Structure 1
Amino acid sequence: MSAQTGAVLDAGRRVPWQTLVAGGLLAGAVVLAVRHWPVLDAGADRLVVADRGWLLLAAVLTVLTWVCAAVTVQGAVREALPARRLVAVQFAASAANHVLPAGVGAGAVNLRFLMRCGLAPGRAATALAVRGTAGAVVRFVLIGVLALASPGVLRLPSVHGTTLLLVLTGTAAAGCAAVLLSRLTRVRRWLACTVADVRGVHERPPRAAALWGGSLAFAVLHTGIVLAVVRALELPLPAGRVALAYLAASSAAVLLPTPGGLGSLDAALAWTLTAAGAPAGASLSAVLGYRLLTVWLPLVPGLLVLAGLVRTKAL
């Protein structure tokens, strides 16, 4: 082996894994941007003639969603987390969430961050589960309130569809129960730790307010983004119907494990906006505008931030 070859191999061994991950993320960002360029171009063309004031408001609300996400994470743990880094992690996590399916990207980023902050893996996972549960409860309550205020907007599935859904849900629950019973000792320990963490969070009013208030604000802000885009496109839809359409669509999209809800949320949101009274083409334009602001424009910067956090070993 020549001296030059040995030097190259030694340099390769010294390259930290964080640098390799950062390079992979940057390459992924470029591939995603090129692959989905028609979507970016179409969304931009439709938004050129939209009201810029409403679009600016939607952009501001998008930035605030990352702050609210940081608040909810802080509310789910008892320990104080570094605020600036926490917000940067949420920005990076939102980008990672659009690369991996079913929230895996954001969950992995937040889990790694909490562990870097000194939390044990079990406690970090419990905190994220508590945060996710709070968000789901808030969305369920908002949907119920808006459904009562705007009757007829949501259409319940048929009796056959409901029966099938109940059967599938019961089967899944029975399977989970069987697995849990087979590991009863570990389940008891996990439940004890979970109850202790949840109790510790709710024994501190500021933490509980951050968890539940942040979850509510997060859902309201995303709803506000859709509403602002709808107003920018001059669609004559009541605010309540738009809010209900988004909350129902985003909740339904969770059932399909696509990266960031891409595809599933788009179809569900376009359908619910059309059901709320918007023309089909205008509904598609609203969805493209929402996606452009919340996904495509922040995607590459978010992945750059993620790469930087990985390289500096903050994750």
Structure 2
Amino acid sequence: MRRPARLPAYRGIPVRRILCLLPLVVVGVWAVQHRSLIGSGARQMLTANPYWLLTAVATTGLGWVAVSFARQGAVLERLPAKRLFATQFAAGAANHLLPSGIGASAVNIRFMTGCGLPAARSSAALALYFLAEATTRIGLLVVLLPAFPEALHLGPLLPDRVGTAVVAGVVAAVCALVLGVVMIRPVRRIVRTFLRTALADARSLHTRPSRALALWGGSLAFPLLQAAGLVAVGLALELEVRPPHVMLAYLAATAVAAVIPSPGGIGSVDAALVIALVAAGAPVDSATSTVLAYRFITVWLPLIPGALVLGTLVRSKIV
């Protein structure tokens, strides 16, 4: 197994040692800035049913297992299982430090290149994972929305013409991206090479049932486990919304929040989840309490352990 390139010292300062400590420093600053939210989530959990809260913790842990399967399914080579799981746990912490999943993506690319995969194939595997995860998430929405058409009532919560504005913004962004790819020759060449590599890897992966099952099964299980965690927190706090409606609210909220580039979805996911739960019939205060407790379990509770694992992986030259 090829190790990542050794990071040099700059004027006598060990760069790798600084990088080991950097996640803890950033997490500490983040925790101080969001101490009121963390305290609110902790206070809500003190009055909740502990068994349902433990269920939410368990689904969060299983979510990292599901992501590990999906990451393994995106590459032909066999990745070391224990290191892969540790990397996903650490990537969760990195994901809350940088916007739009950049932190988790950087950690995973570093891990895969350290396992001997070329950078182009690591990037292609990352893109395939995101494609599978987005496809399964949208597929779940397509299945659940017709099954529970009365679950979400967004009309009273959103201003007029907001849907038109969102659609127009998405179309404009897509058009700008396409024009950039078509008109800029170096970008066009990079995109062509990337797509050729990604398509070749995707075809090879789907000739191996074990890899295809890991990729699509893990990608499907992850949002279901996350939604089940929100259901468990809702039951712990006696949220008066049916569990299927809570799951649909989670899928819809995270799909919308994914287009807002905030670190770990802080702010965007919270607001979207509260709006979705209110649209599903929950009172505003109950929805807010449920989201705070849920985010405490899935974000704030694993943040410091995840940063410690990330520092250990950097120090061990695994990432």
What TM-score, normalized to structure 1? 0.92
Distance 1:274 1:168, change over 3 A: closer
- Structure 1 residues 8-27: aligned runs within 5 Å: 15-27=13-25
> Which deviates more, 118-127 or 86-95?
118-127
**Structure 1 unmatched runs, 5+:** 1-10
Q: 1:119: how far off?
A: 0.9
Do residues 266 (structure 1) and 290 (structure 2) align?
Answer: no
CA spacing shift, 1:310–1:283, aligned 2, 3 Å = same
Q: How far apart, in 1, do the equivalents of 2:49 and 2:214 lie?
A: 34
Match of 1:3 in 2: none
Match of 1:115 among 103, 113, 118: 113
Write the mapping of 1:15-164 to structure 2, written as runs, cut at 5 A. 15-154=13-152, 155=154, 160-164=161-165
**The residue matched to 1:236 in structure 2 has which SS?**
coil
Percent of aligned positions that are identical: 45
**Residues of 1 paired with 2:166 and 2:267: CA distance?**
22
Structure 1 stretches of at least 4 aligned residues deviating more than 6 Å after TM superposition: 156-159
Cα distance in structure 2, aligned partners of 1:136 and 1:193? 20
1:195 to 190, 199, 202: 199
Question: 2 CA distance for matches of 1:45 and 1:188?
Answer: 52
> Counterparts of 2:40 and 2:159 in 1: how far apart (Å)?
36
**Which residue is 2:225 aligned to?**
221
Q: Which moved more, 1:267-276 or 1:21-30?
A: 21-30
Q: More deviation in 60-69 or 166-175?
A: 166-175
> What value does the CA root-mean-square deviation take over the aligned residues?
1.8
Which one-letter code corresponds to 1:111 in the other structure?
Answer: I
Amino acid at match of 1:229: V
Residue pair 2:23, 2:94 contacting (<8 A) in 1 also: no
* DSSP 3-state at the match of 1:153: coil
TM superposition score normalised by structure 2: 0.91
1:240 is aligned to 244
CA drift of 1:159 comes to 8.3
Would you say 1:308 and 2:312 are equivalent positions?
A: yes
Which runs of no fewer than 5 residues in structure 2 stay unpaired? 1-8
Q: Which amino acid in the other structure matches residue 247 of structure 1? A: L
Letter in 1 for 2:283: P
Matched residues, number: 305
Select between 274-283 and 85-94 the one with higher mean Cα deviation.
274-283
**Alignment-derived partner of residue 255 in structure 2:** 251
Moved more, 188-197 or 279-288: 188-197
